[in-house]
A and B are shown apart, each in its own frame.
Chain A
């Protein structure tokens, strides 16, 4: 049913598409004229009377007889670079040159480019649209009287955040850097991890108004071509005003928008994204967002963590199981407790049953309502703790711990076992952050099902959940693979984490054209004789 609604919406969107395309675009493809005044007039018209648009008039050439202008947006350009390497050579060095080149307007622009400016990236353009578009992204334009071409200089420079430690995806032994809001910094972080010449960043701009730079990162020959094509198609279909965050793209390109589970992965860690790219996935980076999307995204990735690969394999496997168990607990525990209490008390060991029954003596609410109420309270506390100004943090913890926990029990409103159950659930729900949202929703559903129909209800909801998960796909890859459909080789990185030297191939479910990751048989075999020296001395 939700799917049907979404189709309707999609249809409406196509209808709107045509109307929107025709409106709100400035005049298309006008070449620069020879007259500088005319060019500047067009620029002023397009860029409006914004105070941050700077048009600097000047006279250049040896006898100061040629009008020129430098156009840029204040705040987007590096002022030191602008002053030292653009304005200064133009106004000062150019005048030192005593040949007659300056009178030859056609080659003036080329001359400036080749011999005057001391900056790296310069392009020559002829369309005024491109000048406008590039100036808006932070380029500096140089226009000269009599020239039908303009120079665009990449002298971008603005205030940015430094590369900081990851805030959400913590790791004990891994690198301590995370993505920032600047696309270039992020691509550089990836490039520093993968120095392969085939690492490619394909750029496109999305957002009618925001013109946000988006980059698709992948390694040619490892990521399947059809995957890249599919991603590009999905990205190009987006027709939106503004892309504020990478999650905007996520919502436009995901396979199953009506699912509770995410089918697009995201990470703020360059090492995670680099590893995923080399597992033959593709990453999508967006300017202004300190997260990268990775597709295809499989369910099992939610339970993987960078530390799994940095720690020793046996412990990593243990932690995986703990995470899986914790996630299941966070969904099922309140539901199972409620259903046992309501329908199957015989499953409690006798002693436990006695103490649970004693604790519930004289409580006003049925156990289902009690559980739902406590879950709701927990969600309120969690959300409050997340959004509230930091200085108020003390208040929430005091109110949460004392009033809702202890006082509620001693006042006889809530049973102590219920508080323990909800607290365990709450802690467990933080183990797998990526699936915390679907987990919270399913927790409510399971509790309700357990209260209404006992374990039977829980089993029915679980079957439905499993069948839903099994039907999901992420960019054509089955969500639950490699577990089901089963891929034995793929299981090396699921319930166990095989030693790094044993993981010779990229995940087979991703269908990479280059499946070999490393040569096999690299298990360390230190020479036996080495120990003799130490012992005999």
Chain B
């Protein structure tokens, strides 16, 4: 009995991870705390993010074809294992709700001030739910097309703002205290790169498990390089104003003006962000639903998709009361809050598994 029959290739996994990492980072620009040195914070964060990826892919390599929930119950036994799994599922659920919240806030602030947030949240949730229902294969297939489009649009945007760029805006390098830089880069490592730990629920379905790690690395690396490029562009275009803006990528696109015909294309950035957010929410949503179904030994994860989605919308509506709080949490709270989930759970599970010499060769019965 398997809850998910689909298989994805390692290439699809990389693309899905790129989409996942782009997810909310178009809204909450990573490394924003470092001002015009954001690119450096992202580069440092990318290194740490790869380290996190190294840990959780090591765990996935150790238990090929198993999701984190299955690994936990193997390593810690049924009761403790399921308890830890539920903690991790909470993280995924909360992650989905946070991204949903980011989105509805962005839409309310920049595009649809009069549309009730609940409506946008429910609609995004419904679209994600119907894709989660179709399984990981379909998500992976969509990611190829949408990520390609997004990257093309990012390149397009960048080419159009070249006349407005002033690379002197990047000087002086290392303008901020080293402590702040390190903190910002840690925040960047956790969000967006470290969130890829959600793929512990997906890595089991890669058709060649031995290629899983390199696929994750490729995905994280490409996404990181694109984000560095975006950060450099934003800083070069916006200059001193950069740290003031809530959504620098969006503002950068507003600068575009080609012969008075192509102006104000920032709504295209908003489109990018809706499509990429779709992946981040869907993967987290998928992981939460699949994990819960595995914890409770359900025959299918489909019946709990909608209930979990409704709960996610409710959490998204209630847990952050305003945009300033959202950013405060993203920059100061989130980097600490997620350490147990992104680093501790995979690392400790891996160590315990090594100590208990799991999985036993030949004697492994699930």
Contact = CB atoms under 8 A, between A and B. Distances in A.
B79 interface: no
A374 to B, nearest CB: 24
A7 B166 CA distance: 62
Contact of A467 (B138, B262, B265, B270): B138
Interface stretch (B90-98, B127-135, B190-198, B335-343): B127-135
Interface stretch (B59-67, B152-160, B271-279): B271-279
B146 A471 contact: no
B245 to A, nearest CB: 18
Interface string B264-307: 11010011001100100000000000000000000000000000
Interface stretch (A21-29, A73-81, A94-102, A450-458): A450-458
B274 A460 contact: yes
B265 A347 contact: yes
B264 A346 contact: yes
A343 B274 CA distance: 16
A255 to B, nearest CB: 14
A466 B142 contact: yes
A441 interface: no
A421 interface: no
By size class, the interface of chain B is 35 or more
A459 interface: yes
Interface string B107-144: 10001100100001001100100110011011111101
Interface stretch (A130-138, A402-410, A480-488): A480-488
A463 B275 contact: yes
B267 A484 contact: no
Given A456-B107, A456-B111, A463 B278 contact: yes
Given A346-B263, A456-B120, A470 B112 contact: no
B267 A347 contact: yes
A463 B142 contact: yes
Contacts, number: 86
B144 A456 contact: no
Interface string A402-428: 000000000000000000000000000
Contact of B141 (A343, A350, A463, A484): A484
Interface in A281-305: none
A349 interface: yes
Nearest to A449: B123
B328 interface: no
B261 interface: yes
Interface string A424-468: 000000000000000000000000000001111101100110111
A454 B123 contact: no
Interface string A228-250: 00000000000000000000000
B47 interface: no
Interface string B241-277: 0000000000000000000111111010011001100
Nearest to B278: A463
A467 B274 contact: no
A453 B267 contact: no
B115 A453 contact: yes
B11 interface: yes
B9 interface: yes
A460 B281 CA distance: 13
B185 interface: no
A456 B130 contact: no
A489 to B, nearest CB: 14
A259 to B, nearest CB: 12
B124 to A, nearest CB: 7
A459 B138 contact: no
Given A343-B111, A349-B260, A350-B260, A464 B130 contact: yes
A184 interface: no
Interface string A471-511: 10000001010011110000000000000000000000000
A382 interface: no
A interface, size bucket? 20 to 34
B111 A467 contact: no
Contacts of B267: 344, 347, 455
Contacts of B131: 463-464, 467
Contact of B127 (A343, A346, A463, A486): A463
Nearest to B128: A463
Nearest to A485: B141
A344 B135 CA distance: 34
Contacts of B115: 453
A459 B275 contact: yes
B12 A485 contact: yes
Contacts of A478: 141
A470 B138 contact: yes
Contacts of B138: 467, 470-471
A227 B201 CA distance: 33
B145 interface: yes
Contacts of B120: 453, 456
A230 B261 CA distance: 55
A302 to B, nearest CB: 16
A448 to B, nearest CB: 13
A470 B142 CA distance: 6
A319 to B, nearest CB: 22
A469 to B, nearest CB: 9
Contacts of A470: 134, 138, 141-142
A345 to B, nearest CB: 10
Given A453-B123, A459-B271, A471-B134, A484 B260 contact: no
Contacts of B261: 349
A454 B110 CA distance: 13
A468 B139 CA distance: 10
B112 A486 contact: no
Contacts of B146: 463, 466
B127 A349 contact: no
B271 A455 contact: yes
B260 A467 contact: no
A466 B19 CA distance: 15
A244 B22 CA distance: 52
B3 to A, nearest CB: 17
Nearest to A462: B275
Contacts of A484: 141-142, 144-145
Contacts of B263: 346-347, 349-350
Interface of B: 9, 11-12, 107, 111-112, 115, 120, 123-124, 127, 130-131, 134-135, 137-142, 144-146, 260-265, 267, 270-271, 274-275, 278
6 contacts: A346-B264, A347-B267, A463-B274, A466-B142, A485-B144, A486-B144
List 4 A-B pairs, minimum CB-CB distance, nearest first: A470-B141, A484-B144, A346-B264, A471-B134
Given A459-B271, A471-B134, 19 more contacts: A344-B111, A349-B261, A350-B263, A453-B115, A456-B270, A456-B274, A457-B123, A460-B127, A460-B274, A464-B131, A466-B145, A467-B134, A467-B138, A467-B139, A468-B134, A470-B138, A478-B141, A485-B144, A486-B144
